[in-house]
Amino acid sequence: MAEIKISSNSFADGGQIPKKHGYKNKNISPQLSFAGQMPEKARSLALIMDDPDAMKPAGKVWSHWLVWNMPTSTTQIKEGSVPPTEAVEGTTDFGSTGYGGPAPPDGEHVYIFALYALDTVLDLPAYTTKNHLENVIKPHILAKAELRGRYSPD
C-alpha cells in the first residue's frame, strides 16, 4: 500500500508551532514537505489544516487552511508562500481564502495538517468550505498523512 508523508522544517510533529505562524502575529504559513510513495492512481493532492480543540463543546472543528488540486509531483509548500498555481484555496472559518494561522483564545491547541492523495482533480470554487470539501473528497481518498503541531496564545 502506498504511504504518503507530511512534515515541516518549521516545527516537529507534535512540536510547538513558532509564533510567527500565528494568525495574530505574522500569519506566515509554515513550510510543509510531502514525501513517500504516491498511490499509482493519484491525480491530485489536498491539504486541510484545522483545530479540533477550537470548539470542542460544540463539536465543531475550526478550519485554518484548505487547498486542493495540487499536482501529485508537489514536494513542498515553502514557508510564507502560496500553493502551486494549479491549486485552489478554499474558504476557512475566518471567512477568507488562504492560510489562517493558529489563534487559540483559551490555551494551547493542537493543529492538524492533513494531506490527502486523491484519485481525481476537483471542480470546486474557492468559496468551498471544509465540510463541503471533506464530503466531496471522501470517496476519492487513496492515502492520507497527518502532521500535528501545538500552539499557545501569547
Would you say residue 60 has pLDDT above 90?
no
The pTM score is 0.95
CA distance 60 to 68: 22
Q: Which of 17-21, 58-62, 102-106 has the weakest average pLDDT? A: 58-62
Would you say residue 77 has pLDDT above 90?
yes
Specify the pLDDT at position 57. Answer: 60
Domain of residue 73, CATH code: 3.90.280.10
Beta-strand pair 141-151/15-16: parallel
CA distance 145 to 107: 26
Specify the pLDDT at position 105. Answer: 83
- Cell numbers that stand for 96 in this block: 477568507
CA distance 70 to 133: 14
**In terms of residue numbers, what domain contains 128?**
4-151
Mean pLDDT of 5-34: 97
Give the number of domains in the chain: 1
Would you say residue 1 has pLDDT above 60?
no
Specify the pLDDT at position 59. Answer: 64
In single-letter form, the type of residue at position 56 comes to K
Residue-wise pLDDT tens digits, 95-134: 999 999 999 988 899 999 999 999 999 999 999 999 999 9
Would you say residue 31 has pLDDT above 90?
yes
Residue-wise pLDDT tens digits, 133-152: 999 999 999 999 999 999 99
